Amino acid sequence: MNPSVLIVDDSAAVRGFHGSILRNVGFEVEEAANGYEALEKYLAKKFDLLLVDVNMPKMHGYELIRQIREQELHGFVPVIVISTESGENDYLEAFRVGANLYLEKPVDPICLQLSAKMLTGIR
C-alpha cells in the first residue's frame, strides 16, 4: 500500500505544490486548509506522515502539532514542519511541540521527497 501524507497549509497553491512533489514518489496525498480540518482528518484516519505549515490563520501550526501529540491516536506519526520564518528559535519551538523535522520554505523538492521517504521508512 502506498504511504499516505496529510498536507496542512492555508494556501491551496502550496498544498498543491507539495502534494505533487510527494505524489511523484508514490504518496497518497490528502489536504487540509487549516488546523481544525487537519485535526478532524487526523482523528479520522491514520496517516504515515504529516506536513504542516507554521503560519496559518485560525490555528497556528505549532498548536496543531501540540494537539496531535497530545492525542497520539494512531501511535507515532512523523511530522514535518514547513516554515517561512527563519528565526533561530523557530525550529526549537517546532521541536518543542513535537515536530520531527523542520524544513524552510521554499522547499527543495528532492529534499522533501527524500525526507518524507526517510521519515516513513518506505523506499
Residues that bind other proteins (CB under 8 A): 2-3, 11-17, 19-21, 23-28, 31, 36, 40, 46, 55, 69-76, 78, 84, 91-92, 95-96, 98, 100-102, 105-107, 109-111, 113-115, 117-123
Work out how close the CB of 13 gets to other proteins at its nearest, in angstroms, rounded to a whole number.
4
Residue 61 or 78 with smaller CB distance to other proteins: 78
Q: How far is the CB of 64 from other proteins (least distance, A)?
A: 14
Shortest Cβ distance from residue 106 to other proteins (Å)?
Answer: 5
Grid coordinates representing 85 are 520564518
Nearest C-alpha neighbor of 65 from the set 84, 80, 83? 80
What count of other Cβ atoms lies within 10 Å of the Cβ of residue 109? 15
Write down the least CB distance from residue 3 to other proteins, Å: 7
- Sheet containing 79-83: give its strands across: 28-32, 4-8, 49-53, 79-83, 101-104
Please state at what angle helix 35-44 crosses helix 61-71, rounded to 10 degrees.
20
